[in-house]
């Protein structure tokens, strides 16, 4: 079986910069990929099938049109393969789990079927976050997600993720968003350390955070808890929520903070560590 890791995607900031005539919002964001995620596998099969396991697999069990199957059909409508998904990330949680799974499936199936077609356009047709998940490397996202640019040079830092166990539908968050648009962020070419990065990121925003918190007030509670943790340099919501993150000086500090929070809040999903190494994609 071919297997590929599908790491979570975290938006360190997310500015809504405008809106197209077709209703799609234009965004500016810095995306990074922590070393936590789902695992996608592909093996020979007589038909196109999908088997789901993992902590959050039951949530997806009732879906008849999972994004992995859509990715397979988009790549090769008549293709046969057995897909496997180990769902370790919360569903509909603002960290691109479904998009990462679809991107991993595209990569694996293209390899399995010997397809050399560029995957970017196919990925965009599946969702705005899927193109950036193809590489799973830090990137600046613009447009509706189709414009990808190099990220600033990132220092070594730690990141902690927390989800309070609730789902927030992205369309509802965009509908609840109030106010105008935010200009693109002004970022340096890189940062010397996590503290300097956190200072600059604090000048940015997540323009969906207030709307998501209005729908699910527990998000505000999570942010307060994260901001109060010793060593936390910045606390913010990722994407359209409800997963929130905190930045720490080192991966080790983030891991320790997550372990402590798991004792205090056992019903919340949490993880802490560093960024994912794309060289380790195939496992």
- Tens of pLDDT, residue by residue, the chain (283 residues): 999 999 999 999 999 999 999 988 999 999 999 999 999 999 999 999 999 999 999 877 656 678 999 999 999 999 999 999 999 999 989 999 999 999 999 999 999 999 999 999 999 999 999 999 999 999 999 999 999 999 999 999 999 999 999 989 899 999 999 989 999 999 999 999 999 999 999 999 999 999 999 999 999 999 999 999 999 999 999 999 999 999 999 999 999 999 999 999 999 999 999 999 987 766 6
In residues, how long is the chain? Answer: 283
Residues marked active site are found at 9, 129
End-to-end CA, the chain = 10
**Measuring CA to CA, which residue among 248, 32, 277 is closest to residue 151?**
32
Whether 75 and 103 have beta carbons less than 8 Å apart is answered as no
Residues 6+ apart with CB under 8 A from 265: 162, 225
Whether 254 and 160 have beta carbons less than 8 Å apart is answered as yes
What order of strands is seen across the sheet that includes strand 48-53?
2-7, 37-43, 81-86, 48-53
DSSP 8-state class, residue 167: -
Whether 8 and 37 have beta carbons less than 8 Å apart is answered as yes
Q: What is the pLDDT of residue 92?
A: 87
Q: What is the pLDDT of residue 64?
A: 63
Is pTM beyond 0.85? Reply is yes
Q: Is the CA virtual torsion 235, 270, 56, 86 positive or negative?
A: positive
Per residue in 104-121, is it b (16+ CB within 10 Å) or e — as a string? bbbbbbbebeeeeeebee
Q: What is the pLDDT of residue 156?
A: 98
Whether 219 and 242 have beta carbons less than 8 Å apart is answered as yes
Residues 6+ apart with CB under 8 A from 2: 41, 42, 43, 108, 111, 112, 282
Gap between the Cα atoms of 184 and 66, Å rounded: 33
Gap between the Cα atoms of 178 and 74, Å rounded: 35
Strands 10-19 and 25-32: antiparallel
Q: What is the pLDDT of residue 179?
A: 87
- Helices within the chain (DSSP H only): 57-60, 67-75, 97-113, 120-126, 130-135, 170-176, 194-202, 209-215, 218-227, 251-264
Q: What is the pLDDT of residue 190?
A: 98
**Domain annotation for the chain: domains and CATH numbers:** 2-148 (3.30.230.10), 151-278 (3.30.70.890)
Q: What is the pLDDT of residue 62?
A: 56
Whether 20 and 144 have beta carbons less than 8 Å apart is answered as yes
Helix axis angle for 67-75 and 97-113, nearest 10°, is 30
Q: What angle do CA 110, 115, 117 make, to 5 degrees?
A: 100
Strands 147-150 and 37-43: unpaired
């Amino acid at each position: 079986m071919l297997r590929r890791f599908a790491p979570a995607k975290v938006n360190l900031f997310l500015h809504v910069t405008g809106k197209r005539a077709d209703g799609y919002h234009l965004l500016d964001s810095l995306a990074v990929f922590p070393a936590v995620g789902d695992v996608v596998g592909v093996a020979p099969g007589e038909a196109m099938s999908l088997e789901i396991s993992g902590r959050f697999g039951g949530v997806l069990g009732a879906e008849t049109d999972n994004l992995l199957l859509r990715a397979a059909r988009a790549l090769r409508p008549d293709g046969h393969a057995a897909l496997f998904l180990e769902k370790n990330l919360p569903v509909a949680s603002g960290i691109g789990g479904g998009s990462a799974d679809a991107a991993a499936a595209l990569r694996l199936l293209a390899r399995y079927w010997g397809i050399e077609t560029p995957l970017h356009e196919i990925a965009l047709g599946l969702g705005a976050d899927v193109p950036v998940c193809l590489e799973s490397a830090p990137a600046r996202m613009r447009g509706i997600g189709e414009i990808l640019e190099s990220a600033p040079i990132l220092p070594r830092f730690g990141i902690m993720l927390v989800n309070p166990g609730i789902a927030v539908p992205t369309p509802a968050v965009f509908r609840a968003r109030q106010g105008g648009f935010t200009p693109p962020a002004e970022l340096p070419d890189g940062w010397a350390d996590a503290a300097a990065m956190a200072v600059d990121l604090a000048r940015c925003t997540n323009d969906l955070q207030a709307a998501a918190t209005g729908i699910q007030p527990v998000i505000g509670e999570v942010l307060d808890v994260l901001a109060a943790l010793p060593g936390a340099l910045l606390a913010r919501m990722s994407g359209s929520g409800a997963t929130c993150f905190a930045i720490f000086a080192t991966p080790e500090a983030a891991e320790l903070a997550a372990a402590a929070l798991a004792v205090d809040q056992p019903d919340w999903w949490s993880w802490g560590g560093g960024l994912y190494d794309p060289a380790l994609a195939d496992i």
